[in-house]
A and B are shown apart, each in its own frame.
Chain A
Amino acid sequence: MKKFAWFLTLAAVLAMALSACGAPAATEAPAATEAPITTEAAATEAPATEAAPAEPFRVAVVMPSAINDLAFSQSMYDALMRIQEEMGGPEAFEVVYSENMFVVDDAAAAIRDYASQGYDLVIAHGSQYGSSLQEIAPDFPETSFAWGTTADTFGQPNIFAYEAASQEGGYVNGVLAATLSTSGVIGVVGPIEVGDAKLYVDGFKAGVAATKPDAVVNVNYIGSFSDVALASEAATTHISAGADVLTGTAQMVVGAIGKAEESGALWFGTQSNQTSLAPSIVVASQVYHWEVALHEMLALIEAGTLGGQSFKANLANGGEVIEFNPDYALPDDAKAQADAAIQGIIDGTITIALP
């Protein structure tokens, strides 16, 4: 009995240690960070630097939720992974990340930590990290920082800003939703009426209104980015009010998608491709391709500019892509309408009036 009791205590201590280590996870062990110093080569008169292989470009990113949240955080992680592949793997482009940084103070500590470890670019992926970054960035003038979603660089020379024109994809989703809805009632599950979420929802409403003016769009901002259970309740609320098409934004919508699937309502995703959550009901997702902004940042950093500019991902520059679910049988005329909306936004014939 005594031994068993000791085992329990030990297990408790271990478990606590485990959960404490859980938060700042790092991938991609730094492979060959230090180039082999060629002292012998320097003995001869040949230029020493020539022989050394190029140092990898090192990126650190701090994200509010998990890298597989099928929403905001995953959009950035996927973009970084795509760039890594283009540049030739972790040897050329090293990526480390801290996920689930819902607490801003923890995120600030991680940002400062990465900066002092000499990463070339530190990304604060969340508008809530802005004020922390504003204080940290001046202490590391040699490091480049990026934060989003925003257009504000605080006027500092080493901060880039990036944002997405979420209303554009929202509009396209809205056009499709209005076309596919037979009941004329559409439900939206939103988090808090700010930033990216507000842009998406407003764009979505505009898209519905332009296509089917008499359709009703019920909107719930549930007041939380994390309350999955409440998001699923919001979905049932919409469904019992007659909605047959739903959409929503931020990481807590996974709960809502489950409820939509249960009752056969259609779903439109945003931020990341949400098809895998419910392949039978997801029609299309607006997906952020942050590499559009990241490529420009990387080019500027190579050229010696560490910040001071802001970037916008939209349909025209490929920073936003509407990805259709290949398993959903989308009628041709609906697809044509969506394509027309995308084209219209790109060439400027459709302007989205935001409230």
Chain B
Amino acid sequence: MDPIVILSAGVATGTVLFFAALGEVFAERSGVLNLGVEGMMLIGAMSAFSVANSLGNPWLGIVVAMIAAGLISQIHAYIVITLQADQVVSGLALTFVGTGISLVLGEGLSKAGTVAQIPALSVPLLSQIPFLGPIFFTNQSVLVYLGYLIAPLAWYYINRTRPGLHLRAVGEYPSAADALGINVFALRYWYVFVGGMLAGLGGATLSLAVSPGWFSELTTNGQGWIAVGLVIFAQWDPIRAALGSYAFGALRRMILDIQGPLTLFGFDNPFYYNSYLGFFLQMIPYAFTVIVLVIGSREAIRKRLGSPAALGVPYIRGERGK
């Protein structure tokens, strides 16, 4: 029960959730709800592992994973943006499409054995910082550091740049954005693509760094859905998405540390001797999510934050506003 070990592992596993959640933040900020994250992550995990296995280069695997998941996301984009179909239904269908394709193309990959992984390293000076150093900057995968960089950049992009303003405008009030000459359709396609690429990056992080390997649909095992939930938890904010993902990862890991040993703080460990209590422990990350959500929504009401106003609503040019 070393808090540093738990938090450090939480950051590593949370990075998977963070990439996927950040992608969903971009898509939803542009007004498109994409519930296909799980399917896109599987596509990413499968193609990254497959490329790393056949070409021996994990970096190329990451690139291919992002492109593949981005392309798959365009099915959803076409259905909901151009055809203006229901976003929930199409997103759910995308999950099945992604799962199906990745299972077919990934057939036989589970026996591929070990492949070249994304390397892990420690940052020279930063890892010396007491407490924070060993958690964030010691022996982490390069992709984890990438996450540290992307989170503030994404926040800055959305909140402080002109393209970010366009993104928010398209998600909040598309007809006004359209009147200003912003191409609502093109931007929505683009941000769904970005969301797909980031989900693919999340999947690749899973199969090439966090829990290396391809284990059919068990590879993600529902993490895409947790990422979708984290977006609401994060109030569509990249920094909050990162913190929430790391906290969720750490809680998942803490449960294992609580349950495993024979003694806990010098006492007989009740969770070791009564394994059924483990189900109670496994509830904790989700209970934590609900609690933060309740607190967060009060704050959101006070600050008039919340979901993008046009989220889930297809934009039809020339239609009278409500």
Listed in ascending order, the chain A residues whose CB lies under 8 Å from chain B are 5, 8-9, 11-12, 15-16, 18-20, 22, 66, 68, 187, 190, 193, 216-224, 226-230, 232-234, 236-238, 240-241, 251-252, 254-255, 258-259, 261-262, 276-278
Contacts and interface: CB of A to CB of B under 8 A. Distances in A.
B99 interface: yes
Contacts of B79: 9, 12
8 contacts: A216-B262, A219-B272, A222-B256, A229-B206, A230-B256, A233-B9, A237-B256, A237-B257
B253 A233 contact: yes
B interface majority secondary structure: helix
B111 interface: yes
A237 B82 CA distance: 48
Given A12-B97, A241-B261, A221 B278 contact: yes
B275 interface: yes
Interface in B207-224: 210-213, 215-216, 218-221, 223
A221 B275 contact: yes
A258 B114 contact: yes
B276 A193 contact: yes
Contacts of B100: 15-16, 18-20, 22
B219 A233 contact: no
B96 to A, nearest CB: 5
Given A219-B275, A258-B213, 10 more contacts: A12-B75, A18-B100, A19-B99, A19-B104, A220-B256, A227-B218, A227-B221, A229-B221, A233-B13, A237-B256
B221 A254 contact: no
Contacts, number: 131
Interface of B: 2, 5, 9, 13, 16, 74-75, 78-79, 82, 93, 96-97, 99-101, 103-104, 110-111, 113-114, 206, 210-213, 215-216, 218-221, 223, 252-253, 256-257, 259-262, 272, 275-276, 278-279, 282
Nearest to B279: A223
A8 B78 contact: yes
Given A8-B75, A12-B93, A261-B114, A226 B211 contact: no
Contacts of A11: 75
A318 to B, nearest CB: 27
Given A18-B100, A241-B260, A226 B218 contact: yes
Contact of A230 (B252, B257, B261): B252
A251 B219 CA distance: 12
Interface SS of A by simple majority: helix
Contacts of A241: 257, 260-261
A262 B212 CA distance: 10
B211 A223 contact: no
A220 B262 CA distance: 11
B102 to A, nearest CB: 10
A16 B97 contact: yes
B5 A234 contact: no
Contact of B74 (A8, A217, A220, A251): A8
Contacts of B272: 218-219
A254 to B, nearest CB: 5
Most buried by B among A19, A238, A277: A19
A252 B111 contact: no
Contacts of B278: 193, 221-223
A220 B221 contact: no
3 tightest A-B CB contacts, nearest first: A19-B100, A232-B211, A193-B275
B99 A228 contact: no
A123 to B, nearest CB: 22
Contact of A221 (B96, B101, B103, B259): B259
B111 A276 contact: yes
Contacts of B111: 68, 276
Given A229-B13, A229-B210, A232-B211, A5 B221 contact: no
Contacts of B275: 190, 193, 219, 221
Given A237-B257, A254-B110, A229 B223 contact: yes
Given A11-B75, A193-B276, A236 B213 contact: no
B4 to A, nearest CB: 10
B104 A18 contact: yes
B103 A22 contact: yes
A133 to B, nearest CB: 25
B253 to A, nearest CB: 6
Contact of B211 (A8, A19, A216, A229): A229
